Structure 1
Amino acid sequence: MKGFFETFKHDHWVMPYLRRYRKLLGLVLFLGFMTFFCGGALMFNSGYLISRAATHPYNILMIYVPIVLARAFGIGRPAFRYAERLTSHNWVLRIVSDFRKRLYQAVEKQAVAIRQTHQTGDVLSILAEDIDHIENLYLRTVFPLVIGWLLYLFVVLGIGYFNWAFGLLMLVLLGVIVIVMQLLSVAANGRREFQARQIQRRFYTQLTDSVLGLGDWLISGRRQDFLDQQDAPIDQIATLRRSDHHFQWWRNFAIQVIFGAAVILIVWWAGLTFTGSQAQANWVAAFGLALFPTVEPFADMSQGVSEWPVYRDSIQRVNALDESEPKQVAQTTIGDFETLAIDHVDFQYQGAQRQVLRDLSLTVHAGEKLALLGPSGTGKSTLLKLILGDEAPTRGTVHLNEVPIARLQQQRAQLFGVLDQQPYLFNTTVMNNVRLGNLNATDEQVRAAIKAVELDDLISRLPMGYETQVQEAGSRFSGGEQQRLSLARILLQDAPIIILDEPTVSLDPITEQHLLDTVFDVLKDKTIIWVTHHLAGINHVDQVRFIEDGSFDMQGTPAELYRDNARFRSLYDLDRGHND
């Protein structure tokens, strides 16, 4: 349980709720203990009843009480189990409800600070996984652990009541199960479980980026590299899972052997202690059978404790999120956009080993069109986050009109328009969806924006015209039509800098080319920063920058690169052939 006390020393998520709902927690533990107590008592009573009945009592009333107790304990065990499940899940769901409300409030309150200190995947992991992990901490670790310890003490004290020396022997023997096996589980199984979670998180980020850049992999002829990259983490996780199952099998086998030895010793001890008379001999089987129901909670203790490293990571993450106070950055205003300057920027995500960007410098002037290209995972999306102010550089600066981008976040909607892979359209009318770009726009301005993106003929042919319901996520329209509606929204927004983040990644080549022609035509007076994986429409831009392993590898105008750079010329010819 390394780091257990350190984890909860400054915790304000888990421990406060344990204290707040301590009465309900006590009821849960009592019901859980009584479940296994009834099971043990049923076996104890049954062992005595069988032995006593085998002596042929002259009257059924001689064994009437054990018969009644057998029925009572038999009914009590499932009844207590059912009540314990209802109570424990009620307790946990009540706490988790508070967790989720508190977590969403923290995210809402600190949205800007969270964007600057957490990747999107990290926030989603906190919202989706970490709360579930804390829920499982109670159900799979805390409850079984406390109930197992209560049963352990009850068994040892019960035997010690008859013979303190044999009670000490059981204390040591069963202690191997409830103490040593738990420590081994944390050291071996828990470490592998933590490694598997880390690999899964990295794999999610890597796979998402690779799929979005699938065209780049195909165009460059690296199909097998793409498959190999996905296979590696899957194989790593499979290896860890096999090791987990192997260890669990041997651990459970060892528990069964130790438990069997304990049962044999109890039968031997009972045989020595309770064979002075025929009446005493009836108790031998009772003591031998009573221990069997406790094997389940003893085994559950080790499995629950083995998952502690995962739960510890989740507890630390939610506490760190709640403790991160948003930094107050002085805001300022600027006039007309002139230049965007990225000066010797390095970037590395918090807690990551790999540096994403290295010594990047770039200047974009008003009206320029820039294309950022490169393979998946080279830092293009990260560079956009720095430009937008979602992330802060590890080293270097990002300035807009010589003002740090962090001081312009209140003007962000007036400075940047973003068209990405899947712009979201809401389940309302065409008019309302486009008007989101500028809530003060008139109907005539909205229609003009829709006409500029060449959708006016399509909209006018619809039965409801501009009042047509777009449906959830824009499902009423095709992918290219959805992008044009989003482009109309950006036209109404009228920001000087437009970010194009793979807007054509899911479109067929013909639709892609038509959309790019429209985008660069209607945005001809804007500054455009276009992130793309391939070279369709590259002639629309003034300068091209290739990012390779976090640094600029090639740069220049499309014409210069085609003339002087063999690699660019090869990729351009491949891409043109692919789109033809």
Structure 2
Amino acid sequence: MKQNYLLLTKKDQWVRPFFKKYKKLLALVLFLGFLTFFSAAALMFTSGYLISKSAAKPENILLVYVPIVLTRAFGIARPTFRYIERLGSHNWVLKMTSDIRVRLYRSLETEAANTKENYQSGSLLGILAEDINHIQNLYLRTIFPICTSFILYVFIIIGLGYFSLPFAGLMLLLFALILVVLPLAAVLVNNARVYRKKAKKHELYNDLTDAVLGVADWQYSGRYEEFLTQYNEAEANVRKEDYQLNRYSRLEGIVKQLIFGIIAVALFIWAGNYFISQGTPAALNWIAAFVLSFFPLLDAFSPVSDSVKELPIYEDTVQRLSQLPNPEKENKQGVKADIVLTSTTIELKDVGFKYPQGKRELLSHFNLTIPEGQVVALLGKSGTGKTTLTQIIRGDLTPTAGKVLVGGMDIKELEGQQANYFGVLNQHPYLFNTSLKNNVRLGNLNATDEEVLEAIEAAGLKRVVDRLPQGMDTLVEEGGKRFSGGEQQRIALARILLQDVPIVIIDEPTIGLDPLTEKQLLETVFEALKNKTVIWITHHLVGIHHADKVVFIEDGKIDMSGSPKELLETNNRFEQLYQMDVYE
């Protein structure tokens, strides 16, 4: 099976760059990791020598004083180096993760307009949560252990070569079985299994996330048993792959322990022959020292094959991340200068739109001109494409045909600068768990308290603020629970007024409000937005007199359009709808 480890190639921009960026900290972490295992081995080495020397009943305590001191020193050094190494490695990973998260969010932001088209909710959560964890584990469980073990490997072979080149060659081969052969075998045998597990787990993650988001639909349709059955089957498939992987891991563990046993026996035999050949009884004290020093190294070499076995998971993660836009590369190409529009007249020319998975066109050969400063009401049945049309106008969606011009300029040229020209007042504006002042200031972070208060007053919230215990500093609570629906809309309106943009899209802000509140809110909204270009999505005709032009959309095209007065006088259908809405 063809391997394509992007994380080990120059194409990778999500793992490799951080080696260079934090190379000093990485070198420190690897050195501390080496010192940890060196101290552990040295502790056993001096302990073995001390035990053997003490068993020989030395006539003077000074003869074992040095190994006693070294035993204490290495006993303290091992946990100390381990603790510092853990701090350093996790500090390194946290720095790296922070950078990756920022970069990931910027990457998603660059194609925010197409996010819903290109990603399922589960896929997005998988990228934002699961893939980041994979990258973290890549360093903590794979890169750091492998690098540390190979540093120890080289040190051990060089050290043994000082005493005996033939034995060093034998150890070179035996340790290579653990560090090279077993990891390669693990990858070859388990590669397909790891990919299958990854794919099934990712599919399970997607299905579960989407099902949770639509749990009410499952309950209302009476199909929750079907969902549970599907989920249990998908989870069983993941467990099946886990079972196969675990079975191989157990077999590999047996082989690994067998090799470790061979190394221990070989080390014992070599040490015995080598030091006996020295011809002095004192030389025998070194046998236990050399043999015991090997056992702490098992903790360094044993995880290598398990770490390498997970490389396909990381490859898949990096591959998916590499498909995202590279914001750093785009920044190097130059930041687009702010565009200044001399006019905000909106023109839609022969616009067509269809969602990638959609079966029909929502808009077809759609033409519309909205002059600067005009209020246009968009009406039509649910699903006719009213909200989609406003997203196309704002540049959040790209039309499949035709083009959108704002002030004579293609909306594509305003990419990333829409917030300078468009404001949106939708059905459910989100309010954060902070003060009223901070919620409004989101429209313009540089606004003064006086400017915030002016926006609040213009949105008709002065009386509300005067009644609040702490005025503008009163906590709004998450989602704006402290305020009524109409008051929440006014807070969102104040935010837009502070943003001070020439074009405002209103997406049914009065839905769910009582008639009196609806009327008062519409009066406030259109008074506050006077002289701005307003695109108003609505389902009914209450307050339609505020509009300069009414556009009915049906089957992706304009069914009728004109001023409210003209339509009342010339269009019987509009007159009937108006009578039904106003006098119902």
TM range (shorter): 0.5 to 0.7
Instruction: Mark the CA change 1:201 to 1:308 in structure 2 (over 3 Å): closer, same or farther.
Output: same
Alignment-derived partner of residue 180 in structure 2: 179
| 1:298 to partner: Cα distance | 0.6
Hey, what's the Cα distance between the residues in 2 that align with 1:489 and 1:432? 9
Instruction: Mark the CA change 1:168 to 1:444 in structure 2 (over 3 Å): closer, same or farther.
Output: closer
Query: Which of 415, 425, 436 does residue 429 from structure 1 map onto?
Result: 436
Q: Per the alignment, in what secondary structure is the counterpart of residue 417 of structure 1?
A: strand
Alignment-derived partner of residue 362 in structure 1: 363
RMSD: 5.3
- Matched AA of 1:389: G
| 1:152 to partner: Cα distance | 1.6
Pairing 1:118-137 to 2, within 5 Å after superposition: 133-137=134-138
- Matched AA of 1:157: I
Instruction: Mark the CA change 1:72 to 1:323 in structure 2 (over 3 Å): closer, same or farther.
Output: closer
Q: Deviations along 1:143-179, whole A, 9 cap, x unmatched?
A: 2212101222233333344343333222222211111
| 1:288 to partner: Cα distance | 2.4
- Matched AA of 2:434: N
Alignment-derived partner of residue 43 in structure 2: 42
Q: Is the 8 A contact 1:368 1:527 kept in 2?
A: yes
| 1:73 to partner: Cα distance | 2.5
Alignment-derived partner of residue 293 in structure 1: 296
Query: Which of 326, 330, 341 does residue 325 from structure 1 map onto?
Result: 330
Q: Per the alignment, in what secondary structure is the counterpart of residue 423 of structure 1?
A: coil
| 1:39 to partner: Cα distance | 1.6
Q: Is the 8 A contact 1:431 1:466 kept in 2?
A: no
Instruction: Mark the CA change 1:224 to 1:254 in structure 2 (over 3 Å): closer, same or farther.
Output: same
| 1:195 to partner: Cα distance | 5.8
Instruction: Mark the CA change 1:300 to 1:387 in structure 2 (over 3 Å): closer, same or farther.
Output: farther
| 1:305 to partner: Cα distance | 2.9
Alignment-derived partner of residue 143 in structure 1: 144
Hey, what's the Cα distance between the residues in 1 that align with 2:453 and 2:62? 93
**Aligned residue pair count:** 509
Q: Is the 8 A contact 1:337 1:496 kept in 2?
A: no
| 1:444 to partner: Cα distance | 8.8
| 1:323 to partner: Cα distance | 5.3
Q: Which moved more, 1:237-246 or 1:123-132?
A: 123-132
Alignment-derived partner of residue 305 in structure 2: 302
Alignment-derived partner of residue 576 in structure 2: none
Hey, what's the Cα distance between the residues in 2 that align with 1:115 and 1:465? 39
Alignment-derived partner of residue 564 in structure 1: none
Q: Is the 8 A contact 2:485 2:513 kept in 1?
A: no
Hey, what's the Cα distance between the residues in 2 that align with 1:388 and 1:516? 31
Q: Is the 8 A contact 1:370 1:542 kept in 2?
A: yes
Alignment-derived partner of residue 373 in structure 2: none
Q: Per the alignment, in what secondary structure is the counterpart of residue 34 of structure 1?
A: helix
Hey, what's the Cα distance between the residues in 1 that align with 2:237 and 2:403? 38
Hey, what's the Cα distance between the residues in 1 that align with 2:387 and 2:244? 36
Instruction: Mark the CA change 1:466 to 1:11 in structure 2 (over 3 Å): closer, same or farther.
Output: same
Alignment-derived partner of residue 476 in structure 2: 471
Hey, what's the Cα distance between the residues in 2 that align with 1:190 and 1:381? 46
Q: Deviations along 1:520-548, whole A, 9 cap, x unmatched?
A: 99499954289xxxxxxxxxx97788xxx
Pairing 1:199-348 to 2, within 5 Å after superposition: 207=208, 209-228=210-229, 231=232, 234-276=235-277, 278-312=281-315, 317=321, 320-322=325-327, 325=330, 343=352, 345=354, 347=356
- Matched AA of 1:367: A
- Matched AA of 1:368: L
Pairing 1:8-19 to 2, within 5 Å after superposition: 8-11=9-12, 14-15=15-16, 17-19=18-20
Hey, what's the Cα distance between the residues in 1 that align with 2:520 and 2:227? 31
TM-score by length of 1: 0.67
Hey, what's the Cα distance between the residues in 1 that align with 2:88 and 2:418? 51
- Matched AA of 1:103: R
Hey, what's the Cα distance between the residues in 2 that align with 1:176 and 1:68? 36
Instruction: Mark the CA change 1:62 to 1:476 in structure 2 (over 3 Å): closer, same or farther.
Output: same
Q: Which moved more, 1:67-76 or 1:476-485?
A: 476-485
Hey, what's the Cα distance between the residues in 2 that align with 1:297 and 1:86? 18
Alignment-derived partner of residue 107 in structure 1: 106
Instruction: Mark the CA change 1:49 to 1:128 in structure 2 (over 3 Å): closer, same or farther.
Output: same
Q: Per the alignment, in what secondary structure is the counterpart of residue 354 of structure 2?
A: strand
Pairing 1:180-195 to 2, within 5 Å after superposition: 180-187=181-188
Instruction: Mark the CA change 1:518 to 1:481 in structure 2 (over 3 Å): closer, same or farther.
Output: closer
Q: Is the 8 A contact 1:434 1:485 kept in 2?
A: no
Q: Deviations along 1:504-535, whole A, 9 cap, x unmatched?
A: 9xxxxxx95859994999499954289xxxxx
Q: Which moved more, 1:233-242 or 1:174-183?
A: 233-242
Asked if 1:389 is matched to 2:389, the reply is: no
Q: Is the 8 A contact 1:371 1:529 kept in 2?
A: no
- Matched AA of 1:428: S
Asked if 1:27 is matched to 2:28, the reply is: yes
TM-score by length of 2: 0.66
Q: Per the alignment, in what secondary structure is the counterpart of residue 75 of structure 2?
A: helix
Structure 1 residue runs without a partner (length 5+): 348-355, 505-510, 531-540, 546-551, 557-580
Q: Per the alignment, in what secondary structure is the counterpart of residue 169 of structure 2?
A: helix
Alignment-derived partner of residue 531 in structure 2: none
Instruction: Mark the CA change 1:194 to 1:100 in structure 2 (over 3 Å): closer, same or farther.
Output: same
Q: Percent same amino acid at aligned positions? A: 33
- Matched AA of 1:143: F
Hey, what's the Cα distance between the residues in 2 that align with 1:380 and 1:293? 69
| 1:36 to partner: Cα distance | 1.3
Structure 2 residue runs without a partner (length 5+): 369-375, 527-533, 540-550, 560-584
| 1:290 to partner: Cα distance | 1.9
- Matched AA of 2:299: E
Instruction: Mark the CA change 1:308 to 1:17 in structure 2 (over 3 Å): closer, same or farther.
Output: same
- Matched AA of 1:255: K
Hey, what's the Cα distance between the residues in 1 that align with 2:438 and 2:14? 45
Hey, what's the Cα distance between the residues in 2 that align with 1:100 and 1:87? 18
| 1:289 to partner: Cα distance | 1.8
